[in-house]
Amino acid sequence: MDKLIDIRDVRHTFTTRTGPLPVLDGLDVSVDEGGFTAVVGPSGCGKSTLTRLIAGLMIPDAGEVRVHGAPVTGPRSNVGMAFQNPVLLEWRTILQNVLLPLEIVPTTLPKREQEARARRLLSLVGLEGFEDKRPSELSGGMRQRASLCRALIHTPEVLILDEPFGALDAFTREDLWQIMHEVKRAEPFTGVLITHDLREAIFLADRVVVLSGRPARTQYVLDVPDTGPRDLDHLYTPEAAEMLNLLRHQIEIAQGRAPAEPAAGDPSPGDTATETDGAPAPPPGSAARGMH
């Protein structure tokens, strides 16, 4: 499969009032066309900065950010974004909110077809009948579903989801995970999901990238095996438990609460022991790569 997003050895330091703040230091992330990559890591490590790189909202000090093989040199209009706070405009109906990107990004789609597409997306996420409501008339989960339709209306090349379900209660969140699978089947997209929820990461994504603490580098990559259509029961299988254990261990390393593992080929510190002793092994069918 072709890489749609290819980020290599990216380094970046922000200038702040209190001095330089190194945020990224060796970031490698690639997302295949049609793939869905989740990015996890300690709070404040640089996950949202990564989404800004993909959207072309900032250019890194060093390294490469390519989309479809071309270097990203400025803001990209063909990116859809959804955030934890959906920020829908109260003076517009839900349908008008979903149509908003088409007023900003040039489109050749005739008006009637734009509206038909917005209605189709709303129906796909279960919001049929709510097209003429105002955002305040919807629950938090419904607003987030509308925000997802808005992010998809212009058929973006890349869909970026920055903790979109973080503020929702557990049941609503799980509903939305299932809706996401339905949306991806009906409207295939290439996705990048930023999340703090490891269950969400393995349920939605086909690849999970673990970032180290700040300045972030790519610490670990887990390819989630494709087990066909996923339902929530999938999260309670031994394979899922193993993946979650492994990712949790990697997060502990990223937070500095567990020792880092040696790179392949590094001399072992003891006669027989290795630093990976005690670390969970990758579950069968998954491919895991440590990055050093």
Ligand X SMILES: Nc1ncnc2c1ncn2[C@@H]1O[C@H](COP(=O)(O)OP(=O)(O)OP(=O)(O)O)[C@@H](O)[C@H]1O
Distance CA 244, CA 291 (A): 18
> CB of 281: closest distance to ligand X in angstroms?
28
286 binds ligand X (CB under 6 A): no
Q: Report the alpha-carbon distance of residue 154 to residue 249 in Å, rounded.
A: 39
Interface with ligand X (CB under 6 A), residue from 21, 59, 89, 116: 21
Regarding 207 and contact with ligand X (CB under 6 A), the answer is no
What is the end-to-end Cα distance of the chain in Å, rounded?
25
Q: Write down the least CB distance from residue 31 to ligand X, Å.
A: 17
Q: Mark the segment that binds ligand X (CB under 6 A) among 30-38, 43-51, 109-117, 270-278.
A: 43-51
What number of chain residues touch ligand X (CB under 6 A)?
11
Residue 43 vs 73, nearer CB to ligand X: 43
DSSP per position, 208-250 = EEEE-SSSB-EEEEEEPP--SS--GGGGGSHHHHHHHHHHHHH
| C-beta of 34 vs 166, nearer to ligand X | 166
Peptide bond into 215 cis (omega under 30): yes
Q: Is 48 in the site for ligand X (CB under 6 A)?
A: yes
Residue 223 Cβ, how far from ligand X at the closest point, in Å? 22
> What whole-number distance in Å separates Cα of residue 37 and Cα of residue 65?
16
Q: How far is the CB of 17 from ligand X (least distance, A)?
A: 9
- Please identify which residue in 4, 5, 27, 45 interacts with ligand X, judged by CB under 6 A: 45
Of 5, 25, 38, 47, which lies in the binding site for ligand X, with binding defined by CB under 6 A? 47
In whole angstroms, give the CA distance from residue 41 to residue 37. 13
Q: What is the C-alpha to C-alpha distance for residues 88 and 39, in angstroms, rounded to an integer?
A: 25
